[in-house]
Amino acid sequence: MRLGLRAWVLGFWTTLRQLGRWPVTLSYPEEQPQIAPRWRGRPVLTRDPDGDERCVACELCSAVCPTHCIELEGDDRPDGRRYARAFRINFSRCIYCGLCEEACPTLAIQLLDEFAFGKERRADFVYPKEALLIDGPGKHPHYRYYDHAGVRIEAATAVPAAAAPLDPLDNRP
């Protein structure tokens, strides 16, 4: 009996407590909501601070994707850098789980705050690479994968002296 009363009082209290507050309802779409920075919205492909594509086509995102909605194929640029020749995401299958972002070793694929987008035809949900690629570095403004990879590409800046290539024919101790 006492338990029932307690629940009754608590319930009314919860309701009455809202009386003095502003309503949380937004008149969307005229009013746009504040999206948290870690919101998992639509995935995009970002660029590194130099403006080069970050994606190196390692295929981890497509491997981890639970709905298999990512498909890509890699290729080599003339300067030795790897990039995705074709990259597409089918957003009519994407569940915005963010596993691709977690898997991405180069921080290329990032889930930004775009959360609602509609199309008239299902085929329009298949975004090719040109539609996915954005112009900026996204959430990680300073990260450059090739600074950490330990491979040289022609376009990269000078390598520090200690890491200059060794000569295997040099027999000095």
Partner 1 sequence: MTAHFYLDGREIPFQPGQNVLEALLAMGRDRDVPYFCYHPALGSLGACRQCAVKLYPHDDKHPPRVMMACLLPASAGLQLVTAESDVRREHAAISELLMRNHPHDCPICDEGGQCHLQDMTVRAGHRLRHYENAKRTFRSQQLGPLIRQEMNRCITCYRCVRFYQDIAGGEDFGVFGSRDRVFFGRLHDGPLESPFAGNLAEVCPTGVFTDKVYHASYLRPWDLETAASICPHCNLGCNTAPGAARGRLRRVRQRHHPDINPYFLCDRGRYGFRHVVHRRRPWRHRLRSREIERDEALDRLTDLLRQGETGFLGSPRADVQDNLAWLALADAYGAPFAAFSDPWQEALAREILALPQAPSLRQLGEAERILILGQALEISPSLRLPVQAALRRGAQLTLASVLPTALDRYGELRRLRPDGYVDAAGDWCRALPSGKRGVILASADALGPAGVHVLRRLQEDLPPGTGVVVAHRAPNLGGAAFFATDGQSQRLREAIRVGRCRHLLALAADPLGEDGDAPFWRQRSSALRISLLDCLPTTTLEAAELQLPMAAVAEREGVFLNYEGRFQAFARVYRPAQYHPHWDPSRSTFPLPAGGMREELALWEPRDLAEALAQRGGRLESFHQRLEFYRHYLCPELPGPGDPGSFIPDALRARFRIGIVPVPHSGTGRWWLSAFHWYGDEAQARFAGELQSLAPVAGVRLAPGQTQAQAMLLTSRDGQTRRYPIVEVAGMAADVLALPPSDLSDLGYHPGERIDALEESAP
36 binds partner 1 (CB under 8 A): no
Min dist CB 93 to partner 1, Å, is 6
Instruction: Please tell me whether residue 105 binds partner 1 under the rule CB under 8 A.
Output: yes
3-state SS class at 76: strand
Q: Cβ neighbours of residue 51 under 8 Å, at least 6 residues apart?
A: 135
Residue 44 has what DSSP assignment? E
Binding mask 67-96 for partner 1 (x = CB under 8 A): xxxxx-xx-x-----x-----xxx--x---
Measured between alpha carbons, how far is 121 from 173 in angstroms, rounded to an integer? 69
Q: Which of 113, 107, 127, 126 is nearest to 55 (CA)?
A: 107
**Size of site (CB under 8 A) for partner 1:** 43
Chain residues that interact with partner 1, rule: CB under 8 A: 56, 58-60, 62-63, 67-71, 73-74, 76, 82, 88-90, 93, 105-106, 123, 125-126, 145, 148-152, 159-160, 162-171, 173
